[in-house]
Amino acid sequence: MSQTISITAIASISPLGITPEVIWENYLNENHCFTEHNLDNKKTFVATLDTTSEQVVDELRESDNKYKSLDKSVLYAMAASRKAMLNAGWTQNDVFGINIGSSRGATDLFEKHYQEYLETGKAHTLASPTTTLGNISSWVSHDLHSSGPEISHSITCSTALHAVLNGVAWLRSGMADKFMVGGSEAPLTDFTIAQMRALKIYSNSDETYPNRALDLEKKQSTMILGEGAGVCCLEIGKKENALAYIEGIGYATEILEHNISISAEATCFQKSMKMALQNTDLSEVDVIVMHAPGTIKGDLTEYKAIEKVFGEKLPLLTTNKWKIGHTFGASGILSMELAIMMMQHNRFIGVPFVEAQLQTKPIRKVLINAVGFGGNAVSVLLSL
């Protein structure tokens, strides 16, 4: 890349917690974050926010009367953005852009407003303004008193990494010096779960690990949904307070056979990885944080794409979806957080139920993958 992009802060709110210390502690143990809830009229595994994070969201909701009508996806983004801005040392005097997306947006609130309409024949006054997709970045901008551009988008499960691409493009163009990027998702609703079950990809496993992400021998898909948000602060140039640097970015789409298809060797992933790695010796990539949602085809095609790109000598491979589930539009940024933490602590976090992989050298470069319905892949290479 022609200009160095520094990541000067990353913050999240998820089933893992809300502070770096607690999040890393939870990554070090081999327990998953799934609990059973009654959704879609049956017991369903999901990964909800931890108790401390829920309390932070509740306090945020009560802090301003206008916030009481907002969807959880907006509140999660606001909570993560406040921490990211603080950690980056940005103030209200800094001009920075905001691009925080979501795959599904105000899912919970939309369903509630629509149910109310079915029952009463009347729509709530705030039904429209509180469920528009632009809600997230707009309210984050309001909450942080920012004065830069604000962008919202939805590119299915690669939404957060597309926000990173956007931020990099704005910085490299010279139109901004700082950009806050990320994704937020609150999809734990009856209708969302029902949609995943209709696709025959939701887990009904009663195994110790009900989401078998990266298990390439599984006989059924085991995707489980989680909720949360993640945000990182990007700055142009090599900053002294950088947590990591964006060394390469790649993106690609592929021709679809049907609405959720992906080719047998994930052509889109091959292209996005090659683009992100075009200036990097493949042997320098220490870890790949895979998208690997826990579906049969999703996991296997991505693995085959990695084999096509890297040959026989693969980097260490991991994913966090066996632990926190698939957070749709937020998943890419939560994978970036795991990547940065592994580099900071120089410790590989693997998947407990697959063959152990031995770390033989320092973790200094990590590739992160994300892809969503529509075959839109993104790959981001981070370095320490």
- 269-304 pLDDT, tens digit per residue, is 999 999 999 999 999 999 999 999 999 999 999 999
Exposure on the CB side of residue 327, measured as CA atoms within 13 A: 38
Confidence class of residue 133 from pLDDT cuts 50, 70 and 90?
confident
Task: Tell me whether residue 266 is exposed, middle or buried, using C-beta atoms within 10 angstroms of its C-beta: 0 to 12, 13 to 18, 19 or more.
Answer: buried
| Cβ neighbours of residue 173 closer than 8 Å, sequence gap 6 or more | none
Contact 339, 12 (CB under 8 A): no
Length of the chain: 384
What phi and psi, each to the nearest 5 degrees, are found at residue 182?
Answer: 165, -160
- 306-327 pLDDT, tens digit per residue, is 999 999 899 999 999 999 999 9
- 92-117 pLDDT, tens digit per residue, is 999 999 999 999 999 999 999 999 99
| Cβ neighbours of residue 340 closer than 8 Å, sequence gap 6 or more | 7, 10, 243, 244, 366, 382
Contact 226, 47 (CB under 8 A): yes
What phi and psi, each to the nearest 5 degrees, are found at residue 13?
Answer: -135, 120
What integer pLDDT is reported at residue 264 of this predicted model? Answer: 62
